[in-house]
Structure 1
Amino acid sequence: MAVDAATHTVFVADGPSGEILTELAFSPELSPTELAVTPDYTKAYLPCANTNGKNEILAVNLTNWTLYSLPMTIPYPAQFVLAETSATSAYLAEPCGALHRFDLTTMSSQSLGAPAVKASCVGLAADAERIYTAWEHHAGGTIMELDTNGNIAWQYDIAGIPTNIILSDNRLIVPFTNTAFTGEGVALFNLSKKRRSPAVVTIQCPSCPSSLAAYPCHAAVAADNQTAYIVNEDGASIFVINLNTAQIIDRLAIGRSLSRLYLIPDTHLAIGTSNLFADLSLIDLASGPLLAVTNTKRQLLSSIAILP
C-alpha cells in the first residue's frame, strides 16, 4: 500500500506482479505526511496537511476499500504514529514540538504539552501505555519516555542529532547523525532494564576528514528481534546490526539513496523507499544487491505499508 503524490491517490499493488488492485483518490489540497495501518489490518490512516490550513486525517477501510475523512481537524502532522497495540490511539507532534493524543473512535483529542526548550520532534513511537519521542535541539538530542498523559517517565541526552525512533519489542532504536564533535551511529535502549543508558553502535568516526555523512535515518527489525537493518540515506547503504551484541555484522552497499526500509515477511527481501527519488527499490538482504527499482511517473511517498 502506497501513496502517489502525483495523482493524489492511495493504491494497493500486488507484490509479485505489480498489478494495481485498488486505487483511491483524495483531494489535491491534501498532502499526506504518514501512512499508518492498524495492528489488525482493518484500517489505514493518513494524516494530511491541507493548503487551507484545515489539516485532517484520511481513513481507508481495508475491508471494503473505501476512503473517507475523519470528522476532526488536527494540527499540522509533522510526526504521527498509532499506538503499537491499539487500533484507536494515535499521537501527533506539531513542527513546534507540541504533542497531542487522539482517540480515533470518539474523534477526541488531548494536548500533552510542548517541550520546555526549543526543540523539534524527529521521531514518535508508542505502545498501549507509553509514548517514546526523539528530539533535536541546539545541544544535540534527547530521548524521552512519557505516559499517555504526557508526563515524563525518563529522558536521556545523546551527543548526536537523532533522526528517528523505532520501537521493537522491548527495544528503542535511535539512529543519529553527526555534529561537529560526534560521529554517527545508533543508540539501542533496552526497555526491560531499569538503567536507561543505551548501547551505542558507531557507524562513522568524526575524526576521519575524508568521510562523508552516512545519515542513518531509519531501521527495520527482523521478526526474531535480533537483527536490525539501519538505512543510511546519504551513504546509500544499509548496516546490519546484531541487537544482542550491539555489533555491526554486515554492510550492504545499495548505491542509491534510501529513506525507509520495509521487510517482506518470510523472505530475505525488503522494499526501500526514497525521499530523493520518490520510488521503490527491491533489495536482497541476504546478498545486498539492488534487484529492481520502480519505473513509473508516480511520485511515491516514503511511508508505505506491506499488507498480508
Structure 2
Amino acid sequence: MDTVPYKLLVVDTENSTVLLTDGESGEIIREWPFPGEYSPVDIQLTADSAIAYIPTSNNQGRGTLFSISLPAGQLMQLPLDLPPIERFAAGPQLGQAVVATRDGALFLLDIEKRSLTLLGRSGEPTACVGLATDDNAVYTVWQHDQNGVLAIFSPDGQLQDERFLPGLPTNLSQSERYLYIPFTTASAGEEGMILLPKQISEAALRAISLHHCPSEASFRIYPCQVAITPDESTAYVVHEDSANVSVIDIASATVSGYIPVGRSLSCLTLLPDSQFAVAGSYMFADLSLIDLVNRRLLSLTDGERELFGQVAVLHSGR
C-alpha cells in the first residue's frame, strides 16, 4: 500500500541524537546531537509544526527543554534550569508549555520569556501520568495510591473541575470533543479506557472494558496510550503487556476489534492518512509500522539504533 508522504522526527537515545527521516524510505535527512546526560521524556510539535520540543531529564534531578526550529533547522537548549520533568504538553498558547514534575508539581513554562510559574502542587504523594492542553484548559490525570483523579485547570492555574476515576489512569489523550484515559488496576481486575466529553460538568464517565479478547482473559493487558483519528471516529488503545491494540468505535463507545501485533508496544502515532501508524516500544527500543486497515504488523526498524518510543510526524511539505 502507498502512504501519504511524510517525515518522522525520532530520538536515537543511544547516540543522544534527534533524527529527521523520510517516512517511506527511512533515510536520515538530518541529525541534531544533544548532551548525552539528558534522557527524552517526550517529543511534540507546536500547532503550526514549526517547532519540535524535546523535554528531557537527567539523573541529577535536573530537567531541560530542547527545541528544533524546523524551518531553520536549528536545535537550541532553553537557558533555564527546570526541575526533573515527568510530563510535558505544548500550549495552551504559542510559546508556552505545561510541565508536571516528579514531585507532583504543575508549572506553566513561558518559553519566550524563559520563566517558570507554579500552577499547583499536590499535598499528598501522587504522580502525574497524563497531561494535555487546549486554548481553554489544562487537563491532567494523577495516580493516588489505588485511585486516579482527573483535574482540569484554567490556563492561569485555577482548578475548574475534578473527577475520581476507576482504577489507575496510565495516560491522557484528547481530541476536539473528548478526553481519552486508559486505566489499569493495582490488582487483577477490569482494565479499559475512559471516554469523557470535554464539557464534563454535564457528562458522565463512560468506561469501556478492554477484556473482550479471549486470549487476554487470564492476565493483565496494561492499556497505556490512546491515538485518535482526526475525524474522531476511531480510537486505538495500545496494550503494553498483551501485544495488541484495541480498536474503539467512538460513536458507540464499543470495542470493534483488535490488531494482533505480537510484541510489546508503548505508544502509537497515526500517519497523515490514518491508514497506517508508527508504534514505539520502550522494551525493545524500536519502531513498528502497522497497517490499520488490514490490522497487521508490517515492519520493524533494523535494531542498529536504540529509539525512543514517541515520534513526531511531519507532512512532506514541512
**So what's the TM-score if we normalise by structure 2?**
0.92
What's the CA shift for 1:55? 2.3
Q: What is the CA distance between 1:87 and its match in structure 2?
A: 2.8
Alignment of 1:130-279 (within 5 A): 130-180=137-187, 182-192=189-199, 194-204=201-211, 211-279=218-286
Q: 1:45 aligns with which of 50, 53, 69?
A: 53
C-alpha distance in structure 2 between counterparts of 1:209 and 1:243, whole Å: 22
Separation of aligned partners in 1, 2:222 and 2:145: 18
AA in 2 matched with 1:41: S
Structure-2 residue corresponding to 1:100 = 107
Which segments of 5 or more consecutive residues in structure 2 lack a partner in the other structure?
1-8
Partner deviation per Cα, 1:224-268 (whole Å, 9 max, x = no partner): 111101111111111111111111111111101111101111241
- Contact in 2 for aligned 1:40/1:87 (Cα 8 Å): no
Cα distance between partner residues in 1 of 2:255 and 2:56:
37
Secondary structure of the equivalent of 1:194?
helix
Partner of 1:79: 87
- Find the residue that maps to 1:238 and give its secondary structure: strand
Aligned to 2:75: 67
Q: Percent identity?
A: 34
Contact preservation (8 Å) 2:168, 2:184: yes
Q: For the Cα contact (< 8 Å) 2:226–2:237, is it kept in 1?
A: yes
CA distance in 2, matches of 1:147, 1:9: 35
Post-superposition offset of 1:54: 4.0
Match in the other structure for 1:289: 296
Q: Does 1:23 align with 2:31?
A: yes
Aligned length: 305
Task: Give the TM-score of the pair, scaled to structure 1.
Answer: 0.95
Residue 305 of structure 2 aligns to which amino acid in structure 1?
R
* SS of the residue 2:248 aligns to: strand
What is the match of residue 44 of structure 2?
Answer: 36
Q: Secondary structure at the match of 2:66?
A: strand
Structure with the larger RCO, 1 or 2 (CA within 8 Å, 6+ apart): 2
1:55 and 1:115 map into 2 onto residues whose CA distance is 20
- Shift in Å, 1:65: 1.1
Counterparts in 2 of 1:125 and 1:267: CA distance versus 1, 3 Å: closer
1:179-208 Cα shifts (integer Å, max 9, x gaps)? 337410000111135324211101128xx9
Distance 1:76 1:44, change over 3 A: same
Q: Distance in 2 between matches of 1:166 and 1:294?
A: 26
Could you tell me which amino acid in structure 1 is paired with residue 204 of structure 2? S
Question: Distance between the aligned counterparts of 2:287 and 2:202, measured in 1?
Answer: 39
SS in 2 for 1:307: strand
Q: Quick one: distance in 2 between partners of 1:54 and 1:216?
A: 29
- Structure 1 spans left out of the alignment, 5+ residues: none
Tell me the C-alpha RMSD between the 2 structures: 1.7
Partner deviation per Cα, 1:24-56 (whole Å, 9 max, x = no partner): 111112212111111111111111213454421
